[in-house]
Amino acid sequence: MKLYQFDLAPASKRVTFFLKETGIEVPIVQLNVRDGDQFEEPYNSLNPFHCIPFLELADGTVISESVAICRFLEETNNMSKKLFGKTSKERAIIEMWDRRIEIDGYVPLINGIRNKFERYEGKVLPGTRNDLPQVPAIAKRGIESCRILFERLNAHLNTSPYLAGDALSIADITGYEAVQLAIAIEMNFDEFEEVKAWHEKLDRRFKLNE
């Protein structure tokens, strides 16, 4: 089994934090996606989405998508810590938050960043190189979408230490990276004090684990 990563990328960080939290170990190969390693063989054929992270199994199966990779690793390793939940109810609540954060915050901000900063010219959509123009309005819309999400998260985090209750879950990892993207796109979210406090708590935890 091999996990293909680029340590600086948000999607890779989601898997890295999951591995650190659970103690699961997987051999890692670094691909520099900024230099276009993902378009070179054998990686180009291994993963047609041309993004990291992706996991290559011993039988040749390739799994991409950070959450799919983490879920597979959790289900195939017998670790006591479960970031996807232990009961049906826990799993549903965790997935609910994870998807809301990904749909309303993470993806709109990724699209925003790729449409805002010059370094993404020609790379507007992840895993592509083409001449699609950058559209600054997409960055503005991404921030608006994330603002609505943060308002909701702020109210929720006032009553809960982590998104799905008393324990950290995969949804918190997605949420942490969404806040990192909000910082990267220069969004001001000072008014969301609960979100900031939760992000700082996660920041200390993940940095301690480094």
Sites of contact with ligand GSH (CB under 6 A): 9-11, 33, 50-53, 65-66, 123, 126-127
**Rounded distance, CA 99 to CA 119, Å?**
28
Structure tokens belonging to residue 102: 């990904």
- Nearest distance, CB of residue 141 and ligand GSH, angstroms: 19
Per-residue exposure over 161-181, b if at least 16 CB sit within 10 Å of its own CB, e if not: ebbbeeebbbbbbbbbbbbbb
Pick the closer one to ligand GSH by CB: 103 or 155. Answer: 103
Pick the closer one to ligand GSH by CB: 52 or 154. Answer: 52
- Nearest distance, CB of residue 202 and ligand GSH, angstroms: 18
Per-residue exposure over 5-24, b if at least 16 CB sit within 10 Å of its own CB, e if not: bbeebbbbbbbbbbbebbeb
* Stretch (H or E) spanning 199: helix 193-208
- Nearest distance, CB of residue 158 and ligand GSH, angstroms: 28
Pick the closer one to ligand GSH by CB: 52 or 202. Answer: 52
- Nearest distance, CB of residue 155 and ligand GSH, angstroms: 26
* Residue labelled with tokens 């004090």: 193
Pick the closer one to ligand GSH by CB: 102 or 154. Answer: 102
Structure tokens belonging to residue 150: 């943060």
Q: How far is CA 163 from CA 59, 95, 107, 166, in A?
A: 36, 11, 18, 8
Pick the closer one to ligand GSH by CB: 70 or 153. Answer: 70
- Nearest distance, CB of residue 52 and ligand GSH, angstroms: 4
Among 68, 154, 144, residue whose Cα is nearest residue 111: 144
